[in-house]
Amino acid sequence: ANAMYALGAVAHTTMKVHTDLWNVMVKCVIAALRCHQDDQLVLSNGVYALGSMCTTSIGLRERVVEWKGVETIVYSMALHEEDHILQSNGCLALARICGVPKGIPNEDSEFSLGILQATQEIQKQALELGAMEVILLAEQKHSDDPVLSRACCEAAAAITTCNILLNDEEFEKLAKMIARVMAKEYHEIETVRNKQPVPPEEQHGLDEFVVAYGSRALGQMCLVRSTDKAAGTHPRFPLVVSGASKQKTLAKAGGIHRMCEALVRFPRKKVVLSSVAVGLAQAWSRHEENQRLAVKLKGVEQMVASMHKWQEDEPFVHTMLHALKVLLQGSEGERNHWYLDTLRGRDTAKFVVKTATAEANNAGNAEMIGEAQEMARQWLPERKHQGPVEEKKEEGLSPRTTLAKAVKAAEEAGGAAPPQHDAASAQRRQAVEAQRQERTLNRSKSQAKIKRLSFS
């Protein structure tokens, strides 16, 4: 047991140097697990070692699958379902083995395609062996353990990312499990913190890391391999994109509600806020229903407010900026008409363009500057073309000014004034004027906030 724990701890240090040796180690660990099925400590440490080795080497996880490592992990978890440490290590090992590895190029290359195809084969085998069932059972048996809940979130995301074999019902079960753990209160509710009263919205027992892991997992679950012919040929056409069917099921399971709620519940936790931004970007990418739902739940407002609060944290602002860009691009990937036609949407677009421009200028990147200019052109077009005006007007004067001058001239001449609008028209004019004043006031407030934005 101690030897396998040591293997897991040092796997990241010598994996690339002694590849053949680590292949032998994988065989030894799997053999030890099969020979000591009654020793929970051996099983727990052995499963941890397999997960650590697969994290370090992409090629090694294929050896683990070939030598029945996934089968051994699933059966060990099913045999000792009451051991929460074994269940946690087992979920993490499944996440490392079945998930799409981080850092693979998102382009149409033999390497990337080979990784995706190998991952789908591993996911298929894991599902056939009952990986989804042991993950759901582990969370159900140990629902009060936040560490295990995080591991379950990671494992659920791993077996669903780019997986075309899961049906909507199975996907919804996993999404509901993640939404449930995100809403669970694991800790005592604090009303006073550091001798200061805790705001009402922060008085809860939620675990910030469960919420953060859950938000990222919900976003990853939506990813599928793109069917576009140009997929992987250009950054605008990535190899992996969000699937509309998965996004719809995610919203049905309450994933959007949980992520937007997290923005309100953890306004001071950047790890939660940035994780939610990543999850929402994938959940609402080119999906109008999810975008409308997030706007309705005031998720966008909370994101903009957090960017104002931590404007000097460039990595954090960049993460938030990406999520808002995806929203403003809409379902067609160019311009979100229904949102940008509102006052709040235009204010958000102005803030995003200004922030992106400042970020580009700070980095001195000509490509980023050009991208910011393109965003301004698409999202904030100049309204130069006005509709035809019915009333005749003098050059340089509006119809309202011309009419006022005609009334004044008629009164001075003692004649009849031009006919005025009826009462209904007067009410409409008053309503329009009130809206215009409110829009001007809100715009001035937004500009005042933007002026305070600066980058070091």
pLDDT recorded at residue 450: 39
Contacts 24+ apart (CB under 8 A), 396-405: none
- How far is Cα of residue 401 from the mean position of the Cα atoms in its chain? 51
Per-residue pLDDT of the chain (456 residues; tens, 9 = 90+): 888 988 888 887 765 556 678 888 899 999 999 999 999 999 999 999 999 988 877 778 888 999 999 999 999 999 999 999 999 999 999 999 999 887 665 655 677 888 888 899 999 999 999 999 999 999 999 999 999 999 999 999 999 999 988 899 999 999 999 999 999 999 999 899 888 899 999 999 999 999 999 999 999 999 998 887 767 666 667 888 999 999 999 999 999 999 999 999 999 999 999 999 999 999 999 999 999 999 999 999 999 999 999 988 999 999 999 999 999 998 887 889 999 999 999 999 999 999 999 989 988 888 889 999 999 999 988 644 333 333 333 344 444 444 444 445 544 554 444 444 455 556 666 766 676 666 566 655 554 543 444 333
Q: What share of the chain is helix, strand, coil (3-state, %, to 5)?
A: 70, 5, 30
Q: Which of 246, 323, 322 is nearest to 291 (CA)?
A: 323
pLDDT recorded at residue 426: 63
Non-local (6+) Cβ contacts of 157 within 8 A are 95, 99, 216, 217, 218, 220, 221
pLDDT recorded at residue 165: 86
pLDDT recorded at residue 252: 96
pLDDT recorded at residue 5: 87
State how far the Cα of 426 lies from the Cα of 243, in Å rounded to an integer. 50
Burial class (CB in 10 A: 0-12, 13-18, 19+), 348: buried
Strands 196-197 and 223-225: unpaired
Q: Which of 306, 287, 309, 308 is nearest to 298 (CA)?
A: 306
What are the phi and psi torsion angles at 224 (to 5°)?
-140, 165
pTM assigned to the model: 0.80
pLDDT recorded at residue 454: 38
Cα distances from 296 to residues 15, 260, 446, in angstroms, run 49, 10, 20
What's the length of the chain? 456
